[in-house]
């Protein structure tokens, strides 16, 4: 296999890429499909296992395990080979899915999701790093745009497929589907990923203390963000305690990583200006993107009065167009070698579109709103392939896995932080509004429009106005995060490959 920076004839490059693409695409498809697929089954799981108030732990614990696992696979992939570690990740993922499908109780299901999440944490970062082994940097954006398209398609398909499977065959079928996907991906990895790097494990010593401290940082941090979204006295107190634990663990982790011979998180790598600025940018992008996706359905039902089926169609531009944005940016990279030009333009347009949505939140015609969401999604998508390419080139081939895993960690933490922040903006605006706007909003989300039946026309009009102002604040905050990400693109030292 030629080194990834050596000139390769276009026909040979395309042959190499499409030999490995089915294996990595299927692995990534399964990981991307999981969260939206399972989210659609949550109501049925809650009814079946009878623990409605704790069912969200199925999502939260998967996210925690997924985030912790990403740098582990990155470091082990550098040392022992990414093909080998991809097979390990698929094994954990399949075992977890099997245990989920057989779960007799919520604690069993939650524990199985931890196992599955530990497998899922390696699927995306290892897949992207495997592509980087074959494709030269300048061509990498074009080909990694295919991965972005797979990710986008899986995210869009997940809610529809999850709802269908749950309705027709029960919630266990959602997890049963993931088993053959993992097995087929493993077969393709064995048969197609035969010429990938074997790794260099000589002298390698795994940083176990780093893993323990990293877990003690990530788990409380993500759980604190989950609690903080509730904006009630007790959850906020719990969030504060968890944040304190995470802060102490982070301090100890940094001390450990400075002296470890083979650190789990190589600080000299992560402290590189190109890498930390790019990772911060992708955290902001994912915070705005995932946060918007999380709250847009509520906006469309409560403010615009759409039915659930209409909401699904209204969100299609947001979920579908990011792949096109990635493809356009990747093509631009291949032609010009400019890494940050395309996300600077795309994210600036996305921020402008979010500002227009914020200003016209109550009056925009639905076709105009759909167009603005499409522009927003295209802008977000333009950053996806550029982030990977920039970080991988800055890190070099020897630390490819660790660098790629840092991007996945930034995305996960950014998504959790951004969703919590936008939720705090929304609920904060309702809390400071006159009357019982926050309580009415919670009732409206839980009970539908029937929650407003007892209000007088004047009270209903006042609440609708307060709700509209709260969503304006939310979209404005999303625009601010996106604008900051666009500015950061201009501050990344590596602008051309």
Shared domain check, 186 and 257: no
Name, in order, each residue with C-beta under 8 angstroms of 36's C-beta and a sequence gap of 6 or more: 154, 155, 157, 158, 159, 162
For the chain, which residues score pLDDT lower than 70?
Answer: 1-10, 51-54, 141-142, 144-145, 197, 199-203, 229-232, 308-309, 312, 444-454
CATH number of domain containing 157 = 1.20.1250.20
Q: Which residue has the tokens 């992939």?
A: 77
φ/ψ of residue 496, rounded to 5: -150, 140
- 31 and 111 inside one domain: yes
Residues 335, 418, single domain; the answer is yes
**pLDDT for the residue numbered 489:** 93
Cβ atoms 122, 85 nearer than 8 A: yes
Are residues 189 and 220 located together in one domain of the fold? no
327 plus 249 within the same structural domain: no
- Label residue 334 exposed, middle or buried (CB < 10 Å: 0-12, 13-18, 19+): middle
pLDDT, tens digit, for every residue of 128-155?
888 878 777 777 766 766 777 787 778 7
Which residue range forms the structural domain that includes residue 413?
266-497
Q: Is residue 31 part of a domain?
A: yes
SS3 338: strand
Which of 261, 279, 295 lies at the terminal end of a domain, its last residue? 261
Whether 199 maps to a domain, the answer reads no
Residues 214, 322: one domain? no
pTM equals: 0.81
Tokens of 444: 């409206």
Number of domains present in the structure of the chain: 3
- How far apart CA 34 and CA 40 sit, in angstroms, is 10
CB 328 within 8 A of CB 342: yes
DSSP 229: T
392 inside domain: yes
492 and 363 belong to one structural domain:
yes
Distance, CA of 282 to CA of 410 (rounded, Å): 7
Q: Does residue 293 form part of some domain? A: yes
What pLDDT is recorded for position 404?
A: 81
pLDDT score of 41 = 81
Answer yes or no: do 295 and 149 share one domain: no
In a domain? residue 279: yes
Last residue of a domain, one of 240, 261, 282: 261
- Please indicate, yes or no, whether residues 86 and 151 belong to a single structural domain of this protein: yes
Tell me: do 154 and 215 sit in the same domain: no
Q: Is residue 182 part of a domain?
A: yes
Residue 299 lies in a domain: yes
Residue 97 near residue 113, CB atoms below 8 Å = no
Last residue of a domain, one of 233, 261, 289: 261
Number of continuous H segments (helices) and E segments (strands) in the chain: 16, 0
| pLDDT attached to residue 25 | 87
Residue 200 lies in a domain: no
Q: What is the DSSP letter of 496?
A: B
Secondary-structure breakdown of the chain: helix, strand, coil percentages, each rounded to the nearest 5:
85, 0, 15
Residues 256 and 274 reside in one and the same domain: no
> Own/partner pairs for 369-376, CB < 8 Å, 24+ apart?
369/314, 370/314, 370/317, 371/317, 373/296, 373/314, 373/315, 373/317, 373/318, 373/321, 374/317, 374/318, 374/321, 375/349, 375/350, 376/292, 376/318, 376/350
Same domain, 362 and 375: yes
Q: What is the pLDDT of residue 349?
A: 96
């Amino acid at each position: 296999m030629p080194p990834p920076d050596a000139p390769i004839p276009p026909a040979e490059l395309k042959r190499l890429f499409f030999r490995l693409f089915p294996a990595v695409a299927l692995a990534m498809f399964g990981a991307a499909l999981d969260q939206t697929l399972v989210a659609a089954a949550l109501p049925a799981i809650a009814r079946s296992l009878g623990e409605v108030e704790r069912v969200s732990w199925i999502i939260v614990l998967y996210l925690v395990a997924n985030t912790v696992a990403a740098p582990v696979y990155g470091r082990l992939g550098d040392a022992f080979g990414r093909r080998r570690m991809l097979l390990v990740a698929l094994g954990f993922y399949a075992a977890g899915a099997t245990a989920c499908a057989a779960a007799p109780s919520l604690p069993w299901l939650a524990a199985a999701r931890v196992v599955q999440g530990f497998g899922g944490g390696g699927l995306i970062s290892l897949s992207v790093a495997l592509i980087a082994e074959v494709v030269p940097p300048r061509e990498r954006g074009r080909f990694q745009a295919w991965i972005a398209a797979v990710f986008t398609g899986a995210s869009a398909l997940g809610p529809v497929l999850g709802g269908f499977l749950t309705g027709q065959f029960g919630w266990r079928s959602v997890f049963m589907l993931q088993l053959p996907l993992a097995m087929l991906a493993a077969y393709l990895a064995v048969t197609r990923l035969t010429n990938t790097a074997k790794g260099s494990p000589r002298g390698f010593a795994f940083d176990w203390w780093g893993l323990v401290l990293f877990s003690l940082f990530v788990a409380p941090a993500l759980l604190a963000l989950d609690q903080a979204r509730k904006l009630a006295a007790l959850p906020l107190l719990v969030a504060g305690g968890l944040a304190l634990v995470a802060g102490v663990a982070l301090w100890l982790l940094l001390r450990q990583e400075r002296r470890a011979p083979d650190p789990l998180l190589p600080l000299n790598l992560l402290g590189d200006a190109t890498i930390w600025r790019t990772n911060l940018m992708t955290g902001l992008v994912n915070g705005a993107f995932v946060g918007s996706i999380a709250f847009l359905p509520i906006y469309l039902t409560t403010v615009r009065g759409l039915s659930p089926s209409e909401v699904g169609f209204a969100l299609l531009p947001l979920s579908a167009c990011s792949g096109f944005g990635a493809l356009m940016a990747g093509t631009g990279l291949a032609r010009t070698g400019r890494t940050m030009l395309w996300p600077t333009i795309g994210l600036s347009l996305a921020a402008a579109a979010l500002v227009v949505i914020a200003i016209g939140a109550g009056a925009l015609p639905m076709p105009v709103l759909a167009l603005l969401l499409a522009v927003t999604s295209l802008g977000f998508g333009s950053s996806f392939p550029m982030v990977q390419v920039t970080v991988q080139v800055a890190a070099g081939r020897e630390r490819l896995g660790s660098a790629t895993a840092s991007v996945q960690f930034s995305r996960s933490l950014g998504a959790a932080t951004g969703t919590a922040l936008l939720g705090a903006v929304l609920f904060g605006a309702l809390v400071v509004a006159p009357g019982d706007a926050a309580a009415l909003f919670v009732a409206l989300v839980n009970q539908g429009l029937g929650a407003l039946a007892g209000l007088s026309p004047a009270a209903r009009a006042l609440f609708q106005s307060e709700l509209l102002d709260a969503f304006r604040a939310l979209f404005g905050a999303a625009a601010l995060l996106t604008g900051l990400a666009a500015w950061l693109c201009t501050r990344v030292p590596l602008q051309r490959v």
